[in-house]
Homo-oligomer: A and B are copies of this chain.
Amino acid sequence: MIRRPDRNPGARQGRTTYDRDSLVEVAVAVFNERGYDGTGMEELARRLGISKSSIYHHVSGKEELLDLAVSRALDALFAVLDEPCGAHANATARLEHTVRRSVETLAAELPYVTLLLRVHGNSEAEQRALERRREFDHRVAELVRQAAAEGGVRGDIEPGLTSRLLFGTVNSLIEWYRPDGGLSVAALGDALTSMVFDGLRVQRP
């Protein structure tokens, strides 16, 4: 429940107000707890500490809340793909970089990415989100294909299958990872990257 402080410099129990971002932040938390469809505007208002109608002062409706949230997640994920990572890096290094940075982004934007990955496509906003997700997947699959072609990752598993398993593992983090727990993002990235690239079996000397 993040709010801006009361504008009134006089002390006493301040009145608090929301801006769009802080409102979306709370909304996303509730959506992730009860599901988007399972959350009513009344429940949302209760958790925000304001009335239902006040929500409509900040956003046009429930669907815009969803749109703002998933767009934020998608923007962050696509930014990873567009990151430069060394001028003469091969595809395999770029893939490893993408996996690690995706884990970091997922952790940094955890509630927003969580909501994104649970979208069903019941409304226009949701279908647009699904479209962008597919675009992201295609670009990752292309990267895996290149890495396999240059011999950096195994070729006996079909590249399309590899990328699905790979990002299935990354995306599954939303089901349990909490940044405020004992596990740092760096350690998580190390463990995941190490498992998918080197395997769980005891390493040969």
A interface vs B, CB < 8 Å? 33-38, 118, 120, 122, 151-154, 157-158, 161-162, 164-166, 168-169, 171-173, 175-176, 183, 188, 191-192, 194-204
| CB-nearest residue of chain B to A175 | B168
Tell me the number of copies of this protein. 2
Distance in Å: Cβ of A35 to nearest Cβ of chain B:
5
Partner of A38, one of B122, B165, B198, B202: B122
Rounded to whole Å, the gap between the CB of A150 and the closest CB of chain B is: 11
Q: Which residues from B are CB-within-8-Å of A202? A: 151-154
A154 touches B201 (CB 8 A): yes
User: Can you list the 8 inter-chain pairs with the closest CB atoms, starting with the nearest?
Assistant: A168-B172, A199-B199, A37-B37, A37-B38, A198-B199, A169-B169, A35-B120, A172-B172
